[in-house]
Amino acid sequence: MCLRVKEMSKPFSRRDFLNLVGAAGGSAAVFQVTTALGITPTIEHSITPGLTPLKGRKCRVILLGAGISALTSAYELSKAGYECIILEASHRAGGRNLTLRQGDFIDEVGNPQQCQFDDAPHLYMNAGAARIPHTHHKILAYCKELGVELEIFENDNRNAWVQDPKFNLGKPVRSKEYLADARGFMAELMAKSITPEDLDAPFSELDAELLLNFIKRYGDLSDAGLYKGSTRAGYLSGGMLSPGIKKGVFDFSELLKADFWKFRMHWAEAPDQGSPLLQPVGGMDMIVKGFMKKVGHLVTTGAQVRSIMNKSDSIAVEYEHKGELKQIEADYCLNCIPTHLVTGLIHNFPTRYVEGLKAVGRGNLTKIGFQANERFWEKESIYGGISWTNQDIQQIWYPSHGIHREKGIILGAYVFGNKNGQMWGELKHEERIERALLQGEQVHPDYRKYLSAGVTIPWHRMNHMLGCDSRWSAQARNSYFKVLQQASGRHYMMGDQISYHPAWQEGAVSSAHFTINEIDKREQANRVTSL
């Protein structure tokens, strides 16, 4: 496993150095280094679309689905003077922005549920979107504009647990223990492999010395460059009124048996997972409620679209509402219905456009929530964050809000693997609950006795959704992304599904901005033509 730089066939370059930094510190470390070297590109953000007001001209837009992209579009278009009509098939607005509270209906096909949480402001579960990265400038700007109060969402809690049947006899250990030891052993390997005499130009002896000092500090190594444990893992005892005693060190081969290095090692360094993350106070649907205060009067729920037909100078949408078949025409149609469901409608889209709609896959994400009648995790010094397990439940989330209240809502499973998610969806509701409890007991031994009022949300079984985020293969994206991003006649697909950032509200807003800017361009061109 040792990498001897002197054995490289070419001089040690900046690229080689960045590769080593990345191997040791992940993407965050590389970003810091590239920034210092002046080779990180500048990122520009466009917060608002800046539409040209119609100034007395009339233009009607039909929006299909009342997800975040449609609400954003209707909000901005209305400000510019457009007439907007939103048709939503389900009983609510928001799409995959879904917050569950007492009495809420969970519309799973063949398994309808009603949320049984107690009625209290802090007792809610974000069943879909649950966090907002600090880099998602557009959705954060709307939170500010709409008066949606935000608070910190604890995503990476080093005091939470990691648990793997193959590691430590299946007993959970603190995340910081696993990470400190894994990091220490990796740094020790680097320190043994990279010595001043081994480094080629352009590194000077001083550069080499600084690099080795960096590695030692990174891994908390001894002066001899060996890993003998670290207080980063916490103290075994002492540390306050008596000298701290380090915890023991896991065997390196034992650490490798648990594959937390696949995700957990770099979880907080992923582009959308690094601190700080935020959440709306009171639930993620506060964003939906903020938009609905502005455009709620434009939304018709329970409106099931049947057909979309492009005409020479308009577009017609037929839909069913309260048992009555209705038709409406408009200048444009903005569609955030999941692509695979659009293919089941009557339409006159071109063949290649339909091929693109069919090419977009869907995720099978599942969430399971419980009401905890006692916040037992706080007795374990866990305040927010995520515990990891290699069991099917994958993650357990602890609420960042309501600290020291009597009760709280815990996410007992966050299943984001397609195969695993499919398995959970095939189980009955009661079977999901029992499976989540059994596996949670491997992380928290007394888990079951604290929990009640379980809810299960397999997104690939949720009515009007039948899938979670879009999944683009490289081939499909190369072949069809631009096809679907552009108009088919007067019809536009949009939403996070038509973005390079699926599963996030920022992708939905970005897609909405792109689409309404395209309409703005068309309307400006029409105005010039008519003069």
Which stretch of 36-40, 224-228, 369-373, 384-388 has the lowest confidence by average pLDDT?
36-40
Dig out the tokens for 396 from the structure.
């357990």
Q: Quote the pLDDT of residue 4.
A: 35
Per-residue burial over 492-507, b if 16 or more Cβ lie within 10 Å, else e, is bbbbbbbbebbbbbbb
SS3 category, 263: coil
| Closest C-alpha to 87, from 60, 63, 61 | 63
9 falls in which pLDDT band (50, 70, 90)? very low
CA distance linking residue 23 with residue 17, whole number of Å? 10
Please enumerate in sequence order all residues whose Cβ is within 8 A of that of 13, keeping only pairs 6 or more positions apart, or say none.
Answer: none
Q: Quote the pLDDT of residue 33.
A: 45
Q: Quote the pLDDT of residue 49.
A: 85
| Closest C-alpha to 284, from 452, 94, 108, 117 | 94
Dig out the tokens for 227 from the structure.
């890993």
1 falls in which pLDDT band (50, 70, 90)? very low
- Residue with the bigger pLDDT between 525 and 376: it is 376
265 falls in which pLDDT band (50, 70, 90)? confident
Answer whether residue 40 shows pLDDT above 80: no
- Residue with the bigger pLDDT between 345 and 244: it is 345
CATH class for the domain made up of 64-94+286-359+473-530:
alpha beta
Which stretch of 46-55, 146-155, 175-184, 197-206 has the lowest confidence by average pLDDT?
197-206
State the residue for tokens 């007001």: 53
Per-residue pLDDT, averaged over 422-438, amounts to 96
- Model confidence pLDDT, tens digit, residues 103-132: 999 999 999 999 999 999 999 999 999 999
CA distance linking residue 446 with residue 436, whole number of Å? 13
Q: Quote the pLDDT of residue 203.
A: 60
256 falls in which pLDDT band (50, 70, 90)? confident
Answer whether residue 480 shows pLDDT above 80: yes
34 falls in which pLDDT band (50, 70, 90)? very low
Dig out the tokens for 13 from the structure.
């370059």
- Model confidence pLDDT, tens digit, residues 435-466: 999 999 999 999 999 999 999 999 999 999 99
Please enumerate in sequence order all residues whose Cβ is within 8 A of that of 204, keeping only pairs 6 or more positions apart, or say none.
Answer: none
Amino acid in the structure at residue 94: G
Per-residue pLDDT, averaged over 176-183, amounts to 91
Per-residue pLDDT, averaged over 370-384, amounts to 98
State the residue for tokens 């339409």: 347
CA distance linking residue 483 with residue 433, whole number of Å? 42
Q: Quote the pLDDT of residue 17.
A: 53
3-state helix, strand, coil in the chain (%, to 5): 40, 20, 40
Q: Which DSSP state fits 501?
A: S
Ranges of beta strands (E only) in 331-439 are 332-335, 346-347, 361-362, 366-372, 385-389, 395-398, 408-415
Per-residue pLDDT, averaged over 267-292, amounts to 95
SS3 category, 34: helix
SS3 category, 492: strand
CA distance linking residue 209 with residue 223, whole number of Å? 13
User: Mean pLDDT of all residues in the chain?
Assistant: 89
Task: List Cα–Cα distances, 324 to 61, 91, 189, in angstroms.
Answer: 22, 17, 71
| Closest C-alpha to 456, from 218, 137, 115, 201 | 115
178 CB neighbour count, 10 Å cutoff: 26
The percentage of the chain sitting over the pLDDT mark of 70, rounded to a whole number, equals 88
Q: Quote the pLDDT of residue 29.
A: 46
Query: What architecture is domain 99-158+364-461?
Result: Alpha-Beta Complex (3.90)
What stretch(es) of the chain map to CATH 3.50.50.60?
64-94+286-359+473-530
Residues in the chain, overall count: 531
Q: Quote the pLDDT of residue 428.
A: 96
What stretch(es) of the chain map to CATH 3.90.660.10?
99-158+364-461
The percentage of the chain sitting over the pLDDT mark of 90, rounded to a whole number, equals 72
